Structure 1
Amino acid sequence: MSNNEITLFHELIGDRTKPVMVLVQGLGLPSLSWHRELVDAIIDAGFSVLLLDNRDCGLSTVLHHHGSPNVAKMIMRKLIGLQAGSSAYTLAEMAADVVGCCDELGIKEFHIAGVSMGGMIAQTVAINYPSRVLSLCSIMSTTGERRYSVPKAAVRRAVIAPQPTDREGRIEQALKFWQVIGSPAFPTDEELLRQRLAANYDRGFYPDGTMRQLAAIIASPPRFKSLQQSSVPGLVIHGDCDLLVPLKGGLRTAKALGVAPMVIEGMGHDLPMQLLDRFAAAMTSHASRAEDCKAG
């Protein structure tokens, strides 16, 4: 779906007469990164699901003409309390992409759930378009406040490390990264993870696009106060072993929304197969309660 110069690849899955849950992926990840088992469980609970590739990722528009930002410099400026500097776009524009896609599909109201950067986009959609959002689910995400959002130094270095130039090298580098940030209590089979990462790469891998997305995160303003003022029903899910987005980011999000967080022991910065039923139950129960409250 097109929003000015941006065209988002999307899939609307399930019965279109059912309430829509929009799922937004994280940094550099296409929509096929969502486990199909999770999507099917959400559909089985009485929802349709809208999957989309964010701008600069997968099959959506890639903004090559903007070049690659100096993310390391932006991070250093942010860490010492300075303005990060300009970016090609912000999370607000990525949120507008999502709403524009819903507009094109005739979806007036929807539930929205996002992981990591996708959670930041989902929060921004709820803040900027409250009349459109029936419920918000923020998974392993944060409010954008520096003190609650800084990953471990080794993880920061890995995020901005130079990429190998060949397909296999990039897949193996990604494999090592995900093994570092994954869930210690819920390990993923290495070969299965490699296959998923290969599928992501083949869908459309653009390192400069990922850096532009990261620059959008860094350059966007904090959301705590805006989330405090939000009336959108919120759910926060976070693991206590997350090295990329620390647990305190999820706790801060929950505080802003005035809700009790769902903290999962042993979960890192991924969605383990072993927890998919638990995720689906929490997400759909939350959305159903929001539907019931709206119905009165």
Structure 2
Amino acid sequence: MGLGAQMITWEDDFCELLAGRGFFVVRYDNRDVGLSTWLDHLPAPDLAALAAGDLTTAPYTLSDMADDAVGLFDALGIDRAHVVGASMGGMIVQQLAIDHPDRLLSVTSIMSTTGDPAVGQAEPWALALLTRPPASTREQALADSVEGYRRLGSPGYPDDEAFLLAKATVHYDRARHPIGTLRHAAAVVASGDRTAGLRSVRLPALVIHGDADPLINVSGGKATAEAIPGAELLVVPGMGHNLPRAVWPEIAAAVARVASVAGQ
């Protein structure tokens, strides 16, 4: 999953759609969020210094997070896997394809980008939502989450406020670790542009992006598909920076389609 996002952002019903197509589905919390290890012995990164080009304050990179996934493969006895990532998770999947192609069967990158600063840029207001200081109370944290879900979500598939509040509550009560999210952001900035590495990828690949994504502009998805030889690009009208239930069947079918190419 993405920046600061827990594995339950891959909702049960979506996972069951994939399982219904014959996949053994594994979802997990990235390091520093959810119920995975919180690396609080590491320093807080200096994002301003990172943006200025000083990468020394990043406690880890996307390559380290890709290595985590391979470690999970090993722990579960999985030799090779179809990998699907959304947002920062898409970046991790891309890094997996660059660093560990021998462990993958296919690659699906959703609402993500290559790291090229010329593409995939956020709307200023969307970036402000993502970078505001963490709330100091549970009530404010839930309100902030609901606002973020609503404004970053899909204008073509709006969710009602009660659903968004229920989602925010489940996530808050399971685990909340804002400093881990900050270290995720540092990993993204410090990892740079993957375009050249993606050109070496020789795996069946699918790129999915919404045309109404305010956080990672659709140009990021298009650039990803252009960088990976033979990648399929699926642009979903009306989809923002989330995975609305109405498009789950289309996304599951597309993931299965690219997986079937790997099986040929």
Corresponding residue of 2:136: 165
Partners of 1:269 and 1:83 in 2: how far apart? 29
Match of 1:59 in 2: 35
Counterpart of 1:98 in structure 2 is: 69
Counterpart code for 2:8: L
**Equivalence map 1:176-191=2 (5 Å):** 176-191=147-162
What is the match of residue 264 of structure 1? 236
Gaps of 5+ in 1: 1-24
Range that drifts further, 89-98 or 33-42: 33-42
Quick one: distance in 1 between partners of 2:24 and 2:260?
13
Counterpart residue number, 1:89: 60
Distance 2:106 2:27 in 1: 16
* Percent identical: 39
Q: Does 1:275 align with 2:251?
A: no
> Please, which of 251, 256, 259 is the counterpart of residue 284 of structure 1?
256
Deviation at 1:196, TM superposition (A): 1.2
1:216 is matched with 187
Q: Which amino acid aligns with 1:38?
A: F
Tell me the TM-score normalized by structure 1. Answer: 0.86
Aligned equivalents of 2:223, 2:3: Cα separation in 1: 20
Report how far residue 257 of structure 1 moved: 1.1
Please tell me whether residue 230 in structure 1 is matched to residue 201 in structure 2: yes
User: Contact (CA 8 Å) 2:50, 2:58: kept in 1 or not?
Assistant: no
- Once residues 27 and 116 of structure 1 are traced to their aligned partners in structure 2, the CA distance between those partners, rounded to angstroms, is 7
Higher strand share: 1
Query: What is the letter of the counterpart of residue 230 of structure 1?
Result: V
State the alpha-carbon separation in 2 of the partners of residues 244 and 109 from structure 1. 31
Q: Which amino acid aligns with 1:272?
A: P
> Shift of residue 67 of structure 1?
3.4
What amino acid is the match of 1:205? R
Task: Please identify, of 273-282 and 51-60, the stretch whose mean Cα deviation from structure 2 is larger.
Answer: 273-282
Secondary structure at the counterpart of residue 118 of structure 2: helix
Aligned to 1:70: 46
C-alpha deviation, 1:73, in angstroms: 4.5
For residues 121 and 160 of structure 2, the distance between their equivalents in structure 1, rounded to whole angstroms, comes to: 28
Q: Secondary structure at the match of 1:229?
A: coil
Q: TM-score, normalised to structure 2's length? A: 0.96
Q: Answer whether contact 1:115 1:140 (CA < 8 A) is retained.
A: yes
10, 23, 30: which one pairs with 1:47?
Answer: 23
Structure 2 counterpart SS, 1:51? coil
Q: CA deviation at 1:101?
A: 0.8
Give the AA of the match of 2:97: A
Instruction: Give 3-state SS (helix, strand or coil) of 1:218's partner.
Output: helix
